[in-house]
Amino acid sequence: MLRYSVRRLLQLVAVLAVLSLLLFAWLRSLPGGPVSALLGERATEESRHNLRAQLGLDQPIFIQYLKFLGRALSGDFGISTGVQSGDSAVAIFVQRFPATIELAVIALAIAVAIGIPLGYMAARRRDSFLDNISVVSSLIGVAVPVFFLAYLLKYVFAEQLHWLPDSGRQTGDLEATRVTGFFILDGILTREWDASLDAFLHLILPAIALATIPFAVIFRITRAAVLDVLNEDYVRTARAKGLTQQVIRSRHVLRNALLPVVTTIGLQTGGLLAGAILTEKVFAYPGLGEAVALSFQKRDYPVLQMLVLTAAMVYVLVNLAVDLSYAVIDPRVRTR
């Protein structure tokens, strides 16, 4: 298993190398760029030319790429030109990473906590009213665009009812001590319970919006997997052996049905990053997704490069983690 992990990690290096080259070339082939972003209406041909020379943007692209690569390998991804000018891309990542993790964890928790039990119950009571309504709602979850749902939630619960905050991570004038950057955790650690609660309330609407797609997928996979397993011989055997329903359900049905579900959850984690771009933009939530959208809009090359490469890395690592987790759930994989 160690050898397997090492091989996968080497693949990751190759993926990142190819991706960084493509990304670098693609960004620079787009019209516009940091020069327009920095100079705006004040630009003259001369000032553009000077600035391009100063930033090294007039050099051949492969020289620029090699320089970027050299700096990136030493952990320097450059300084933001638009998202938060003056901050390094790495600092922006470090600062926004906890925000997105908080959001993604809560969204995934919602999706799992509702998706798996509902999928299981729908499969057990196939074609019942519960089953039908769940299938339809999961279809809606997949079909409705995340940003539309986000706007809708915001309009109803923040703008009209004023039940929940509409944007950001925490109320602006709340005095909160920052320790880890995970706001809920920070509030617990410092015993600023109101800060924790405030951060949690800010998460509810965006997390629900973000959870719809993974929820729908997890629900449907669970339902299908449980239906499959229920018809397996070993379930019938277990029943014949006289095992209690509870043991059959937890040890034989759920455990076997969970294998494809875990794969799905892993894949959905990657998808959450994509969903976070839209959700965070709508809720003005200062996480990585918002930074991706902003850095593209403002042609902030350093930040965009850093974020896309990191997202790719996370995606590959999550997939690796999913594969390894099979070993934990499925004893047959472990012994091999």
Decide: 285 and 102 in contact? Cβ < 8 Å: no
CB atoms within 10 A of CB 279: 31
Residue 15 beta carbon to another protein: minimum distance, rounded to whole angstroms? 23
Name the minimum Å distance from CB 199 to another protein: 9
Question: Judged by CB, which is closer to another protein: 13, or 284?
Answer: 284
Q: By C-beta, is 76 or 228 nearer to another protein?
A: 76
Taking the complex as a whole, the smallest distance from the CB of residue 109 to another protein amounts, in Å, to: 17
Q: Of the two residues 178 and 241, which places its CB atom closer to another protein in the complex?
A: 178
Q: Which is nearer to another protein, 99 or 257 (CB)?
A: 99
User: What is the closest distance, in whole angstroms, from the C-beta atom of residue 294 to another protein in the complex?
Assistant: 6
Please count the other Cβ atoms lying within 10 Å of the Cβ belonging to residue 314.
15
316's CB contacts (< 8 A; 6+ apart) are: 8, 11, 12, 15
Q: Please say whether the beta carbons of 168 and 143 come within 8 A.
A: no
Cα(268)–Cα(111) distance, integer angstroms: 10
Tokens describing residue 148:
């539309």
- For another protein, the closer CB: 74 or 231: 74
**Closest approach of Cβ 37 to another protein, in Å?**
5
Distance CA 131, CA 24 (A): 48
β-strand partners of 79 = 88
Rg (CA), the chain: 24
Q: Please, what's the largest Cα pairwise distance for the chain?
A: 86
d(Cα 158, Cα 164) in Å, to the nearest integer?
5
Residue 8 or 48 with smaller CB distance to another protein: 48
Minimum distance, C-beta of residue 64 to another protein, in the bound complex (Å)? 9
- Name the minimum Å distance from CB 257 to another protein: 19
Alpha-carbon distance of 161 to 168, in angstroms, equals: 18
| Residue closer to another protein, measured from CB, 142 or 179 | 179
